């Protein structure tokens, strides 16, 4: 098992319980919602925007704490929210479910959403989009009089055209939201730790069930079961592979039977309790038997990459500086390396996105700040190799430097 700093262990050991309990420290949900809404409105005010129209259900939840059929809403635009630069939000919810968010102090009014996508409107979509725009324009002008600069995160061309026809200029709402979401307060970190503890409970169940003869799908199912049973929500991918399917990476799990002597690699991409993401990767050896020298070699390279790069994240360093000084990937693994060295994480994968030492110029501009939560990635697999290793840790940047939030142990039999 890798060394974990005392500060990291202190964070992990003080994780709150899944359920609220009045005799124990717990997350202040009202404070957390207020902090998140305040972050969004700070970004709006800095950009002189009247507000932001949100369709992405993760952005809506961040801004006002409401959620409703999150995955379904991702591809059905039947729910949206207006966040003014000052004041409370206006939620337009899926009509049969307008009662779900009535208790939330971040919302001034809940209205029935006006669906105008083809699924909801059919050939009447042009008529429906005008009804949608007329109502929304009234709300915008009432809550943000005099300012015609508005941001949107995801909006189809027909909707954008309707708002522009009314005299509004549209700006990048996703940039507003990503910048807002990047700095977490203590309540968010506590929620993330609860999500990670659920994720690692699922990983422990997977580890317990791993044996020669189980299929990839069967093994992966245990992570889902534990997540749902412990109050989690969904898993964004199905990234688990065994044996030769571990190289190249990004194969999702199948009905392949896992065999003794093989590596099994996975990436959780799990949305746990409170909607926070746990993005942790591990690679295991399936016994009986002992890992080969080549399996150990791959594993140790991946381990070294993750541990070295975690140490680079100290407050005040630019992302380019971090990328330039990051672990240099041996040439044989460059072609199949992971898509990023590090990425932000919160209610899902988030900004920033950092690249590798040999193309540091492509890293997003920015600076490591206290309160950022990040995932440090590694995939090691050669083009002519048989297997590959995937490892990933979730960290928090503090005044003292990076602290691990994920604590699941590494494989002693694979580490030199």
What does the pLDDT read at residue 2?
A: 44
**Amino acid 321: pLDDT:** 95
Give yes or no for a contact between 336 and 301, defined as CB atoms under 8 angstroms apart.
no
Q: Is the pLDDT of residue 56 over 80?
A: yes
Angstrom distance (rounded) from CA 413 to CA 82:
53
Nearest to 197 by CA among 106, 102, 121, 273: 273
Beta strand pairing call for 263-267 and 169-172: unpaired
Mean predicted lDDT score pLDDT of the chain:
94
Query: ω before 115 within 30° of 0 (cis)?
Result: no
Other Cβ atoms less than 10 A from the Cβ of 250: the count is 13
**Domain residue limits, the chain:** 29-181, 186-404
Secondary structure (DSSP) of 18-67: SS--TTS----HHHHHHHHHHHHHHHHHHTT-SEEEE-SHHHHHHHHS--
Mean pLDDT of 326-339: 96
The pTM for the full model equals 0.94
Please give the helix or strand (H or E) that residue 393 lies within, else none: strand 389-398
pLDDT digits (tens, 9 = 90+) for 30-50: 999 999 999 999 999 999 999
What's the fold here for domain 186-404?
Creatine Amidinohydrolase (3.90.230)
Cβ atoms of residues 198 and 273 within 8 Å: yes
In 3D space, the residue among 175, 232, 161 whose CA is nearest the CA of residue 203 turns out to be: 232
Whether the predicted pLDDT of 1 surpasses 50 = no
CATH of the structural domain 29-181, one choice from 3.90.1170.50, 3.40.350.10, 3.40.640.10, 1.20.1050.10: 3.40.350.10
Selected residue with higher pLDDT from 3 and 253: 253
pLDDT digits (tens, 9 = 90+) for 220-238: 999 999 999 999 999 999 9
pLDDT in tens, 342-361: 999 999 999 999 999 888 77
For the stretch 370-401, pLDDT in tens is 999 999 999 999 999 999 999 999 999 999 99
CA 332 to chain centre: 30
pLDDT for 171 beyond 90 = yes
Whose structure tokens read 């199905």?
238
């Amino acid at each position: 098992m890798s060394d974990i700093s005392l500060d990291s262990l202190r964070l992990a050991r003080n994780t709150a319980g899944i359920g609220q309990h009045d005799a124990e420290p717990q997350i202040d949900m009202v404070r957390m919602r207020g902090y998140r809404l305040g972050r969004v409105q700070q970004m709006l005010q800095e950009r002189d925007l009247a507000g932001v129209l949100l369709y992405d259900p993760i952005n809506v939840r961040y801004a006002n704490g409401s959620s409703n059929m999150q995955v379904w809403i991702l591809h059905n635009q039947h729910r949206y929210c207006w966040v003014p630069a000052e004041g409370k939000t206006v939620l337009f919810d899926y009509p049969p479910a307008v009662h779900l968010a009535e208790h939330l102090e971040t919302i001034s009014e809940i209205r029935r959403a006006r669906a105008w996508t083809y699924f909801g409107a059919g050939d009447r979509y042009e008529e429906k989009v005008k009804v949608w725009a007329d109502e929304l324009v009234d709300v915008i002008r009432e809550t943000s009089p005099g300012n015609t600069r508005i941001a949107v995160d995801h909006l189809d061309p027909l909707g954008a055209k309707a708002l522009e026809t009314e005299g509004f200029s549209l700006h990048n709402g996703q940039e507003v939201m990503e910048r807002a979401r990047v700095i977490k307060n203590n309540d968010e970190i506590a929620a993330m730790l609860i999500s990670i503890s659920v994720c690692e409970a699922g990983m422990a169940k997977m580890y317990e069930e791993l044996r020669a003869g189980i299929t990839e799908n069967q093994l992966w199912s245990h992570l889902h079961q534990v997540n749902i049973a412990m109050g989690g929500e969904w898993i964004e991918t199905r990234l688990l592979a065994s044996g030769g399917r571990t190289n190249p990476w990004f194969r999702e799990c199948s009905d392949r039977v896992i065999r003794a002597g093989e590596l099994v690699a996975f990436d959780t991409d799990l949305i746990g309790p409170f909607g926070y993401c746990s993005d942790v990767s591990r690679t295991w050896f399936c016994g009986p038997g002992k890992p080969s020298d080549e399996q150990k070699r791959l594993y140790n390279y991946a381990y070294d990459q993750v541990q070295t790069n975690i140490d680079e994240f100290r407050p005040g360093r630019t992302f380019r500086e971090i990328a330039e000084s990051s672990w240099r990937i041996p040439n044989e693994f460059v072609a199949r390396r992971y898509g990023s060295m590090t990425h932000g994480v919160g209610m899902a994968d988030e900004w920033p996105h950092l690249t590798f030492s040999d193309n540091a110029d492509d890293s997003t501009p920015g600076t490591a700040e206290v309160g950022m939560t990040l995932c440090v990635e590694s995939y090691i697999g050669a083009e002519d190799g048989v297997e590959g290793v995937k490892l990933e840790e979730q960290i928090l940047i503090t005044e003292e430097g990076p602290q691990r939030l994920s604590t699941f142990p590494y494989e002693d039999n694979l580490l030199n």
